[in-house]
Amino acid sequence: MRTSSIVLVCGALLFALPVPGTFIAGALVMLGGGVARWLGS
């Protein structure tokens, strides 16, 4: 698995947690993974 794929999966897991604050954190992590994938990491 590519590093960006692992980051995207971790972001999705954070996004799905029913804990306050993880919604935004998960979205930011997924955004970072998407940027990493776009840049080719």
pLDDT digits (tens, 9 = 90+) for 2-41: 888 888 899 898 888 888 888 888 889 999 988 988 988 6
Largest CA distance in the chain: 32
* H runs (alpha helix) in 1-41: 3-16, 22-39
Domain that holds residue 22: 3-39
Please tell me the distance from the alpha carbon of residue 13 to that of residue 38, in angstroms, as a whole number. 21
Sign of the alpha-carbon torsion through 9, 11, 34, 41: negative
The pTM of this model reads: 0.76
The count of structural domains within the chain is 1
